[in-house]
Amino acid sequence: MRLDRFLTRKTQQSNKQVRQQVDAGEVLVDGVVVVEWSTPITRFSEVVMAGERLQENTAEYWVLHKPVGVVSDTKHPHHKTVLDCLEVPNKQQLHVAGRLDLNTSGLVLLTNNGAWSKAITQASSQLEKVYEVTLDKPIPEQAEAVFEQGIYFGYEDITTLPARLERLGLTAARLTLTEGRYHQVKRMFGHLGLRVLSLHRSRIGNLVLSDELPCGSYRRLSNQEADTLLSS
Ligand code: URA
């Protein structure tokens, strides 16, 4: 909704009156003075007019270190879910922004802000996702070139975006992707005839899964961290 409409609804003042307040620099959206009447306001915008808070920002962002054996879903008939890992109020309003497979561990984001999770996961965001992988056989010589060039996925009829492979050993590597296709890492190594034995996501954008967040634990991201993650 536009700012001026939001303000008239909230305050019962006329459109002219609220526009005057905006012009006078009396209105802050998410802590910043705004002078455009048409500024978009969502249910997650904090709006303050003349020192009075008209709406709070109720957006929540969480980062979880997902253990193997936990599903990236909010409900499941047989498995523990990422929501079961969180002991926080209102967790039923959260959803996952970018899934990991059941047998993958690592960084998972949860939020109640659909626009944010969409921006995180959409292909055009090109946010880096970093995975540590162990494989059943030595990584072949041509792997870097093949991943850099892209691999054709017939099911989606796409070619994967250039990906960066860093060798950590004969059968271990770090892979950096800028997209998140279904089982992408497993399919990429499968293309080279290798099977993924373990998979761990260690980073999304500028957000690194540090030792301070052991497996199974979680922490809330500040709104600022959530914003900067999007632009990282
Ligand atoms: N790629 C995979 O194959 N699995 C994951 O869980 C994440 C990326």
pLDDT value at residue 23:
96
Q: Report angle CA 186, 189, 190 to the nearest 5 degrees.
A: 75
Quickly name the fold that domain 61-230 has: Pseudouridine synthase (3.30.2350)
Residue minimizing CA distance to atom 4 of ligand 1: 183
In whole angstroms, give the CA distance from residue 46 to residue 188.
43
- Give the residue extent of every domain in the chain: 3-55, 61-230
Are 186 and 199 a contacting pair, CB within 8 Å? yes
135 CB within 6 A, ligand 1? no
Residue minimizing CA distance to atom 3 of ligand 1: 183
Superfamily, domain 3-55: RNA-binding S4 domain (3.10.290.10)
List the catalytic residues: 101
In whole angstroms, give the CA distance from residue 176 to residue 148.
10
Q: Report angle CA 65, 68, 69 to the nearest 5 degrees.
A: 120
Atom of ligand 1 at shortest range from CA of 186: 3
231 pLDDT band, cuts 50/70/90, is confident
How far, in Å, from the CA of 187 to the mean position of ligand 1?
Answer: 9
pLDDT tens, position by position, 103-140: 999 999 999 999 999 999 987 888 999 999 999 999 99
pLDDT tens, position by position, 82-95: 999 999 998 999 99
**Best mutation site among 186, 188, 200, 204 for ligand 1, i.e. most ligand atoms within 8 A of its Cβ?**
186
Q: Provide mean pLDDT across the span 48-77.
A: 96
Helix, strand, coil % over all residues of the chain, rounded to 5:
25, 30, 45
181 CB within 6 A, ligand 1? no
